[in-house]
A = this chain, B = another copy of it.
Amino acid sequence: MTSPKAREEAVLEAVRKRRDRVNAAIPEDLPIQPPTRLYEASRYLLDAGGKRLRPTVLLTTAEALADVQPLSVDYRGFPTLSGAEPGSVSKIDMMNAAVSVEVIQSFTLIHDDIMDDDDLRRGVPAVHKEYDLETAILAGDTLYSKAFEIMLDTGAKPDRTVDALEVLATTCTKICEGQSHDVSFEERDDVSTEDYLEMVEQKTAVLYAASACLPAILMEADAETIDALYGYGLDIGRAFQIQDDVLDLTVPSEELGKQRGSDLVENKQTLITVHARDQGVDVDSLIDTNDVDAVTEAEIDDAVATLEETGSISYANEMARELVEDGKARLEILPDNEARELLFELADYLIERGY
């Protein structure tokens, strides 16, 4: 049996290889053109880094469905499942679908950073800090429509393109609804586990769900496969967000690229705080300040110690693990191949990653 460390390294290597291809595709699909400042601002966060996890899920799902060796087929000329039938579309641009999803992700980060007034993202200034508020709003809006333009241009059958756009549009709507819940939760102290999980599904998981099912839609898979993959994405996406909430407390600020414990400072509701409150912890008093610049490492250490004592952090870890196992079980519908194996490992990685 491979060691956990070696396994994680293998997954990261697989992620990196797809990331490099996605990074090469972004300037092709979203070139910097006049008005230059607008497109530079739109590309700023995309170019600042990111693991491209959602595009990796999308591209790997496509490979599993097509039953091809990972990285053996050009993503820009990817086979469909009906390619051999007369009059059908044989090749589509799967990379466009991957870039589109990443562009949506980037748009939401730019606008979220304005809403949360966060200064840093991926270790660089947020777009509204590097540029200004106006440019950041407009850069997000530009990415929004560009994501639709790029997804419209995969060359898939028109009825499948319509379905793909439907998924993309409803996904964006749900992300907005989730963000709205997330903001309103900051004012509330009666958020239940169900409330939290619904918010996380909308805010984060739907984009993973879209990433996993879009290849099936575009490649003309059946409804059962599309549904199963959507479910896989939803499960691992929720697990990803829960792990993100854990990492916000446990990873040093330098590695996070932002202040550790910022969720606590800003009164964000997470599965951890919801659990701790159920255990009788006065969560609002864990950190005195509401200003991330004023909090000390010692205060955060104390708060984390309390959340460990109540078992809230391990509760979150367990829930994330269960979700990942549920998600993996849904992949039974795919052919048994190397790409599917990678989708299992990606699911594990989302909750085992250190940052």
Interface residues of A (CB under 8 A from B): 34-35, 37-38, 111, 114-115, 133-135, 137-138, 140-142, 144-146, 148-149, 152, 157-159, 161-162, 165-166, 168-173, 176-177, 179-181, 183-184
Q: Which of A138, A161, A171 has the most CB atoms of chain B within a 10 A radius of its CB?
A: A138
13 contacts between A and B (CB under 8 A): A35-B177, A111-B141, A115-B133, A115-B134, A135-B180, A135-B183, A141-B144, A141-B172, A144-B144, A145-B170, A145-B171, A148-B165, A158-B159
CA distance A184 to B138 in the complex (A): 13
Question: Are B37 and A184 interface neighbours, CB within 8 A?
Answer: yes
Find chain B residues with CB under 8 A from A171 CB. 145
Question: Are B138 and A115 interface neighbours, CB within 8 A?
Answer: yes
Find chain B residues with CB under 8 A from A179 CB. 138
**Contacts A115-B137, A137-B137, A162-B158 given: A142-B35 contact, CB under 8 Å?**
no
CA distance A142 to B115 in the complex (A): 14
**Contacts A162-B158, A162-B162, A180-B38 given: A173-B152 contact, CB under 8 Å?**
no
Find chain B residues with CB under 8 A from A141 CB. 111, 140, 144, 172, 176
CA distance A331 to B144 in the complex (A): 33
CB distance from A130 to the nearest CB of B (A): 16
CA distance A348 to B152 in the complex (A): 36
CA distance A268 to B152 in the complex (A): 35
Question: Are B158 and A173 interface neighbours, CB within 8 A?
Answer: no
CB distance from A138 to the nearest CB of B (A): 5
Find chain B residues with CB under 8 A from A161 CB. 158, 162
CA distance A159 to B162 in the complex (A): 8
Question: Are A142 and B176 interface neighbours, CB within 8 A?
Answer: yes
Question: Are B165 and A38 interface neighbours, CB within 8 A?
Answer: no
Question: Are B181 and A35 interface neighbours, CB within 8 A?
Answer: yes
CB distance from A343 to the nearest CB of B (A): 27
